[in-house]
Structure 1
Amino acid sequence: MQMTAASRQQLIDQLIKEVNSSYAFPDMAKKVETSLRQQQKRGAYDTMSSPQRLSEVLTDELQAVTRDRHLRVTYSKEMIEDRKSHDERSPEEVAGYLATMKSNNFGVERVERLPFNIGYLELRGFARATDAADTLAAAMTLVAHTNALIIDLRNNGGGDAAAVILLASYLFDKRTQLNDFYFREGNRTEQRWTADVVPGLRYGGTKPLYILTSKDTFSAAEDFTYALKNLKRATVVGETTGGGANQGDDKRLSPNFSLFLPLGRTISPVTGTNWEGVGVMPDVSVCARDASKTAQVAILTRMAASENDPDERRRLHERIAQLGAGATSSISCS
């Protein structure tokens, strides 16, 4: 497929139309239109016959104007079908989706009880809450009786907002507002609260909780981190996250082009804003590779400070010494 002047014009016109009608930030949508029209007048796209290259350039332009990493244009050699909701998928499509999720254990990569009864849960993604509920319940039940919990989101690129609410619901003793979500369509705002009842055992809201992050922590994983940090429920250890706060969906621009477009935005009841473009800053800034042992050292230090048994206190300090060597500032992370 080769792009022509007519097909480029049609693509950009449709792109501007979708951004203006649905983007979560109406004022920013107008800036996008202005920027793209200026680029057209300068002839910036005139020599682009490659559809792949054009999609990349348009994505760069959109993100440069908005600083929104969710916003992107994608080219496909195969014809793009209109996106179906989960409920509209065929039984075969649903079965394929579930098979993929099961092969990834619904994002639950690892559950472990570390020395001195510290729970550890590594999540690589937030699968749909309705599908992942049993697996998350099993994981949270396994760590329910630990004295402190580490949730590792260093390799978590996001997923389902409802799964974020479900996991957070295990970590509070009472119903708690996590955030608001503004939808451009209908100009409405939805409050998001933890659930009154969860399957399995609730961890509760008083035991120490640490969340591990990296620059690759993104989207729904940042949503979870941002909410629990600002509610003072968790201590965040690691690197500043990727900075993608605006949730959206794919819009078909043409038979071979689509646009992922944020349709709404998260608003913290604590900060009045979100982490878009800036990421979630950790409370304790270290290289991602050092985040786990840094969190463990913090937990064990607290335990040692309140431990009356001298033998147990000695064992705690021995473990701290084992873990404490070699941590580096995140400034020097490669």
Structure 2
Amino acid sequence: MIKNFTVILSLLLVAIITLPACSQHKPSAAENINFLTVVVKTNLKNYFDQNKADELIEKVTEMERKKLFEGVSEEVAAKMITDMLRKETHDKHFNIIAYTIKPQAEAKQTQPQNQQPFTAGITSIKILKNNIGYIKWDACIAGEAAFKKIRSALDSVAGCKQIIFDITENPGGDGASSAFINQFFYESKDYQTLLVKKCTGEANWHQSEVIFNYSQGPKLFNTPLYIITSDKTFSAAEYFAFTAKEMKRATILGKTTAGAGNPGNAMSTYLQNSDTVFWMFTPNCQITTRAGHSLEGVGVKPDVELTSNNWVNETVDYILKQN
């Protein structure tokens, strides 16, 4: 519902705040930035904390009154607003980016000749020494095609004594991907009700976890699980580690994760005839455990801090010492 509203809103903004369609006038940086501030203030109404949203809208207006955007580029203005939003909310999910649209002919020339195969975010699968399975998971991607790839990766390590999930470079994405993985590691379904969510416009908290109950697939319920995290582990990837730690299902190793727990919506829009596109991500939900524990601004702290130059080898050494 909110996503559809954002798309409609984007179209309306383009229609309302642009010059007539017949005009070929190319907007200046100042015109683009003026458009950006209108877009930002409109999208901030989707923020889950409505009182804070009003404060943030006033902050953007104040930046305009102080003429802080005069003489700067669209990219700089976008960063200035992003920095302000993050400072005021401590929410790393807030993000605004300005980028240039390449002409169609140029874009065709710069497209890669060889398209990379779809991996569903799984970039490496290995069997390490002493039959330890290793999966490097670099993006949370959902959908039937992704689930088939993830299932294949899990099948590849199903016979291993222990399994390592390396999510040190995973920036997050679709949380349904971790929900899909979780069903193969938890015999009890209690984990499915661990997290609750409340989004913009909702009066009550409700279950956050997407429910999967596949009847077939590897049963890894008793296989020891180790998850390697870093400060680059972000958003949906953090919840994979967070759930495992809260449920005492895995040992977390590495560094504390980013602490970006509030999901939201992304949108892109631009002013007519402009070659600058603005992309904005606005958090519109909160997620906590039923007991009120949150990773927002805190992250997931590892059980074992890794300090070497090779975290995978250090994790393997740790595992071998436990057995």
2:98 maps to 1:75: yes
Q: Tell which deviates more after alignment, 6-15 or 161-170.
A: 6-15
Instruction: State how far apart, in whole Å, the 2-side matches of 1:28 and 1:103 are.
Output: 43
1:239 aligns with 2:255: yes
Give the drift of 1:203: 0.8
Question: Aligned-residue CA RMSD in angstroms?
Answer: 2.5
Q: Which amino acid aligns with 1:15?
A: V
TM-fit CA distance, 1:78? 3.0
Q: Which is further off, 180-189 or 57-66? A: 180-189
Whether the 8 Å contact between 1:133 and 1:199 is mirrored in structure 2 is: no
- 2:289 is matched with 268
What is the DSSP-based 3-state SS (H/G/I as helix, E as strand, rest coil) of the residue aligned with 2:29?
coil
2:236 to 201, 213, 220: 220
| 1:1-334 equivalence runs, <5 A | 1-4=27-30, 8-19=33-44, 21-48=45-72, 50-78=73-101, 103-176=117-190, 177=192, 178-191=194-207, 192=209, 195-197=212-214, 199-204=216-221, 206-252=222-268, 254-255=270-271, 256-270=277-291, 272-287=292-307, 289-303=309-323
In the alignment, the residues of structure 2 paired with residue 287 and residue 243 of structure 1 have an alpha-carbon distance, to the nearest angstrom, of 20
After superposing on structure 2, the runs of 4+ consecutive aligned residues of structure 1 that deviate more than 6 Å are none
AA partner of residue 257 (structure 1): F
Please state how far the C-alpha of 1:60 moved relative to its aligned partner.
1.4
Residue aligned with 1:31, SS? helix
Is this contact kept in 2: 1:118–1:146, CA < 8 A? yes
Amino acid aligned to 2:61 = R
Q: Do the aligned partners of 1:175 and 1:196 also contact (CA within 8 Å) in 2? A: no
CA–CA distance in structure 2, aligned partners of residues 288 and 226 of structure 1: 23
With 59-68 and 178-187 compared, the bigger mean Cα shift is at 178-187
Shift of 1:186: 3.9
Flag the structure with more relative contact order, 1 or 2, with Cα contacts below 8 A and sequence separation at least 6: 2
Q: Distance in 2 between matches of 1:109 and 1:288?
A: 22
CA deviations on 1:110-151 (whole Å, 9 max, x unpaired) are 222222222211111122232211111111112222221111
Deviation at 1:221, TM superposition (A): 1.0
> Cα deviation per residue 1:1-51 (whole Å; 9 max; x = unaligned)?
5233x65444323312220x2112223323312322332333322333x21
Contact 1:170/1:198 (8 A) holds in 2: no
Is contact 1:31–1:65 with CA below 8 Å preserved after alignment? no
Deviation (angstroms), 1:212: 0.3
Q: 1:164 to 1:289 in 2, by over 3 A?
A: farther
| Number of equivalences | 279
Alignment-mate amino acid for residue 33 of structure 1: I
Distance 1:132 1:14 in 2: 33
One-letter identity of the residue aligned with 1:120:
Y
The whole-number CA distance in structure 2 between the counterparts of 1:149 and 1:251 is: 37
Instruction: Name stretches of at least 5 consecutive residues in structure 2 with no aligned partner.
Output: 1-26, 103-110, 272-276
SS at match of 1:242: coil
Letter in 2 for 1:267: T
Query: TM-score normalized by structure 2?
Result: 0.78
Q: Deviations over 1:232-261 (max 9, x none)?
A: 111110011122212222234543323211
Distance 1:198 1:69, change over 3 A: farther
- How many angstroms apart in 1 are the aligned matches of 2:205 and 2:39? 27
Instruction: Give the C-alpha shift of residue 188 in structure 1.
Output: 5.0
CA distance in 2, matches of 1:110, 1:236: 19
Whichever structure has more helix as a proportion of its residues is 1
Letter in 2 for 1:197: Y
**SS where residue 218 of structure 1 aligns?**
coil
Identity %: 25
